[in-house]
Every structure is written in structure tokens, then in C-alpha cells.
Amino acid sequence: MKIVFKVLFGLIGLLIGEMILGYILSLAQVVEVIVKVQTFNKLLMAIPFRLVIIITSTVVVGFFIIRMVLNERKIVQELQDTLYETLETLENYKRINEQYPSQVSDEDMERIRLKIKKIHHEIKIREIRVQVNDSDVSKN
């Protein structure tokens, strides 16, 4: 029975030794990379290189997602402003048309209506994108 325990403890010791040796070797590779980089040498020696890469990439991806959402919201706001301006123009044309029927052509009115439909459609598409991006950000 003592022999079995000695063999078992010996195997466990070898396993732990291999794990420690593997960790030391991987740490040596990290230190080698750090020495090659020569940037923030002391700081990077304290932090494992993979962790730095993971944190940096997560921050960069998060930044771009948030920036994309903010850009979409800004575009939606600009489109809504354009829509309101176009609606005001249409109302002005209607008033002018009522007072002076020959001043505004039906083609102008139709052109403005089509422009309003186009802008309204674009706003809907952008709002859907913002909602999808917001849900992506909240999941992350």
C-alpha cells in the first residue's frame, strides 16, 4: 500500500512539476516578447500579455460599437430634421397653391411628397439599425 501511495504522490508531483515548468516556459515566452517590444517594459512584465490583448481588443470593439450606435442616432436625428423641413416646405407650397393656384405645379407637389416618403423610409431603416445595435450593446 505504501508503494501505491508513493507512486501516486510521485505522479502527482511530476504533474505539478510539469505544470509549473509549463507556466515558467510560457512566462519566459511572454518576457521574450516583452523584451522585443521594449514598450512599457515594467508594466507589461507585471501583466500577462494575453490578458493585455484580450482587454485591449474588448475595449476597441466596444468603442466601435458605441460609436456606430451614436452615428446612427445622429443620422436619424438629421433625417428627422430634414423631414420636418420638407413637411414645412410642403405646407408652404399648399398655402401658396391655395392662394395662387398657378404658382406651384402639381409636379413640384408630387416631387416633395416623394421626397418625404423617401426620407420617412430612411428614418425607419435607421431606427431599426439603432434598435438592433442597442440590443447588441446591452448584450455585451
Per-residue confidence of the chain (140 residues) as pLDDT tens digits? 666 666 666 667 666 666 665 666 666 666 666 556 555 555 555 566 666 666 777 777 777 777 777 777 787 788 778 878 877 877 777 777 777 766 667 777 788 788 878 877 877 877 777 777 666 555 55
Based on the fold, state whether residues 60 and 118 are members of the same structural domain: yes
Based on the fold, state whether residues 25 and 52 are members of the same structural domain: no
CA 77 remoteness from chain centre:
20
Based on the fold, state whether residues 52 and 35 are members of the same structural domain: no
Based on the fold, state whether residues 29 and 54 are members of the same structural domain: no
HSE, side-chain direction, 13 A CA sphere, residue 14: 6
Q: What is the pTM of this model?
A: 0.39
Number of structural domains the chain divides into:
2
Residues 6+ apart with CB under 8 A from 34: 41, 44, 45, 49
Cα–Cα nearest to 76, from 24, 134, 29:
134
The parent domain of residue 103 ranges over 48-140
Based on the fold, state whether residues 128 and 92 are members of the same structural domain: yes
